[in-house]
Chains A and B, each alone.
Chain A
Amino acid sequence: MLSRMQLELAAVAVVFVLGSLAVIGALEHEIGWASDGPQAGYFPFRLGIILIVASLVIGAQALASGARGRELVLSRESGRRMIGFFLPLVGYVAIAQVLGLYVATALYLGFVLRAMGRHGWQATAGVALGVPLASWMLFEVWFTVPLLKGPLERWLGLA
């Protein structure tokens, strides 16, 4: 599903972009070494250059890697398992932005336990409701660290 070379190149592309961002961001500031030492952009600029150069070299090495580059780092089956884990996670975080962490946690656990873990309704409901409830006690009541809340909590007058 994914060969080593493909993953190497993807990683290198990310590093290249991050390096370029560091350079662009650094250029908004002085990048030199003045009488009072290095300026705000001095280190980010050089770090960006290092990242760009390193990414190009690693990329070239990856392209020249031959058989090792063609070996699979992710088989189709593993890939499916990973995506099955990762997509719900993305959904969890996306829902949390809108509905708050408590509701999102309940939905996420409910979905994953039921659909992926194939647990019974009782176990699913117990965990999906128990974890947010325990979090509420722990964070809101005990530690007084407010977690992200959404419309439900507001409607209930809790946020």
Chain B
Amino acid sequence: MTLNRRNVLAAGLAAPTLAMPSIVRAQAWPTRPLTVIVPWAAGGGADTVTRMIAAGIEQEIRQTVNVVNRTGGNGVVGHSAIATAAADGHTIGTGTSEFVNFRLLGQADLGANSFDLISRISLIPAGVTVKADGPWRDFAAFAAALKEGRKGQYTGSGVGTGGAWHLAAAGMTKAMGLEADRIRWIPSQGGAPALQDLVAGGVSVFTGSPVEAKALADANQVRVAAVMGSERMAAYPNAPTLKELGIDWTFENWFAFLAPRNIPAPVRARLVEALEKAHARPEVRKAMTDRGIVPIWESSEAFASFASRTSDTAGGLLRDLGLVRS
């Protein structure tokens, strides 16, 4: 645990109050409403998934669950709030793949080892979305243009520099035998503005979630040429996966439940059990799959080894992109 001044202060203040009532309560969980911290704004992907599951948690533990958005600094603010919350099982958070790269990007001293990794909760496959009335009918045409053109001739967007969808684009071009920065990245504040840029003609390809592109795809403004998941998406049955096209690259962004480290073991066991049950509830599952979000639940050990693997892959790509600051 990283000690900063606020922690020491909080601990000092908490000490005298650790008298009777708290100790008694440590056996019982939950004794009061739960808080789930989301590092991203209300209405976004992480927030929506969290609120869906939060409704399920309320059913499981018969306690109010407050979803709190702590936004800012590319998720740094919210993730650090999760890491430094009281480890009593009443505060958890929804982490997003960004936290794995904070140290490499020089954004914050936070990483997988700053949290109690509970489980990933959902996967969001990346895609290759192009303008519908643009030059490319399908992925093959796009790939050919990318190979023939100059490095940086075509632009991509979907997230800020070094974000998940940027890595998706870099990994894809690398798997095609090209440079990681073959596609010039136009940083954006999220999926919606990037898609707007795509239609306005400023951006060649959108590598974010095809789910976000659904409205514009229905309006015949954009075309999902391929998806980067391990299988095709129900919403886009005609869009092949990159694997099918002979490119060895899959990319799924993910959200996960994180907790501050050192929650007492009995409390943690109850907490994880409740979360897993909530996540498995049929109405929660249905809400997620209806939106094209792939639910996932795994053991903490599996999540931890996934996090370290993904950290290596992402680290390599960020190095190729010249974005590593530390």
Measured CB to CB, the residues of A under 8 A from B are: 98, 144-146, 150-151, 154-155, 157-159
Contacts and interface: CB of A to CB of B under 8 A. Distances in A.
A151 B21 CA distance: 12
25 contacts: A98-B13, A144-B33, A144-B64, A144-B66, A145-B68, A146-B35, A146-B66, A146-B68, A150-B13, A151-B13, A151-B14, A151-B16, A151-B17, A154-B14, A154-B17, A154-B22, A155-B17, A155-B19, A155-B21, A157-B21, A157-B25, A157-B31, A157-B32, A158-B32, A159-B32
Given A98-B13, A144-B64, A146-B35, 7 more contacts: A144-B33, A144-B66, A146-B66, A146-B68, A150-B13, A154-B22, A158-B32
Interface of B: 13-14, 16-17, 19, 21-22, 25, 31-33, 35, 64, 66, 68
Contacts of A158: 32
Contacts of A146: 35, 66, 68
10 closest cross-chain pairs (CB), A and B: A144-B66, A151-B17, A155-B17, A154-B17, A151-B13, A157-B21, A157-B31, A157-B32, A157-B25, A155-B21
A14 to B, nearest CB: 25
A159 B13 CA distance: 14
Contacts of B33: 144
A35 to B, nearest CB: 10
- Most interface-central of A98, A150, A154, A158 (chain B CB within 10 A): A154
A146 B35 CA distance: 9
A144 B33 CA distance: 10
Contacts of B13: 98, 150-151
Nearest to B90: A159
